[in-house]
A and B are shown apart, each in its own frame.
Chain A
Amino acid sequence: GQQLNQSPQSMFIQEGEDVSMNCTSSSIFNTWLWYKQDPGEGPVLLIALYKAGELTSNGRLTAQFGITRKDSFLNISASIPSDVGIYFCASRGFAGGTSYGKLTFGQGTILTVHP
Chain B
Amino acid sequence: ETGVTQTPRHLVMGMTNKKSLKCEQHLGHNAMYWYKQSAKKPLELMFVYNFKEQTENNSVPSRFSPECPNSSHLFLHLHTLQPEDSALYLCASSFTGVDSGNTIYFGEGSWLTVV
Stretch of B12-20, B73-81, B101-109 on the interface side: B101-109
Q: Is A30 an interface residue (CB 8 A)?
A: yes
How big is chain B's contact interface, by range?
20 to 34
A50 to B6 Cα, complex, angstroms: 29
A35 to B42 Cα, complex, angstroms: 13
Main secondary structure of the interface of A (DSSP, over half): loop
- A-B interface pairs (CB < 8 A), number: 46
Contacts of A45 in B (CB 8 A): 103, 105
Q: Is the CB of A44 within 8 A of B2?
A: yes
How big is chain A's contact interface, by range?
20 to 34
Residue of A nearest to B43 (CB): A105
Contacts of A101 in B (CB 8 A): 96, 102
Query: Which listed residue (B4, B42, B56, B102) contacts A105, Cβ 8 A?
Result: B42
| 19 A–B contacts, CB within 8 A, in A order | A4-B42, A30-B100, A31-B102, A41-B109, A42-B2, A42-B6, A42-B90, A42-B92, A42-B106, A43-B43, A43-B106, A44-B2, A44-B106, A48-B101, A103-B45, A105-B42, A106-B42, A107-B41, A108-B42
